[in-house]
Amino acid sequence: MTYKTCYLTTRESGVWDLRRRDLSQSEIGRRLGITRQAVNKALGIIDGKIEHAFYEAVATNNLEIRSINLVEGVMEAYSPAYRIPVIVSLSKVNGLKVWHLYEGNCSSCSQRQSCRRMLFAEAEERGIDLSREEKAMQPTHLSLKIYSRYIRYGGQSGLR
């Protein structure tokens, strides 16, 4: 499920992107021509908006939160109804995306290519280099590869 609603303004998205690149608030301010204090205030607003987006996804999908990484825009959750782990990601390219981590039948799914394009764009935005073998993975496995660096609770993916 994807939410294409714009949660961050263009300016906020730029600040958030620079923070995701591990830049200090002072450096972000220099690059954008604003004060460090303005960056700090913006980051507080950004974190609130991202957290709100994640809580909307939790409520809409009946999920249990396991961990939230506001800097990276990734939430690890669990679906009690389906008994599977879930990753909720927020990115500039894909908006808010809910990834159910289970062994799907991607090879016969009509959405396979769409999922692959979204995952390739997600990896590129996050600075994750994918090998040729990884690019050939089914979307269910590729999503786990991309988001595994954010999983804190044992990494049980439901994938076999």
Check residue 154 and give its pLDDT.
47
pLDDT confidence band for 6 (50 / 70 / 90): low
Phi-psi category of 30—alpha, beta or left, where left has phi over 0 and alpha has psi -120 to 50?
A: alpha
On whether the CB atoms of residues 87 and 73 are closer than 8 A, the answer is no
Domain boundaries, the chain: 2-150
pLDDT tens per residue across span 100-126: 888 778 888 899 999 999 999 999 998
In the predicted structure, residue 19 carries a pLDDT above the cut 90? yes
Check residue 132 and give its pLDDT.
95
Check residue 151 and give its pLDDT.
72
**124-158 per-residue burial string, b: 16 or more CB within 10 A, e: under 16:** ebbeeebeeebeebbbbbbbbebbeebbeeeeebb
Structure tokens at 89: 């990601």
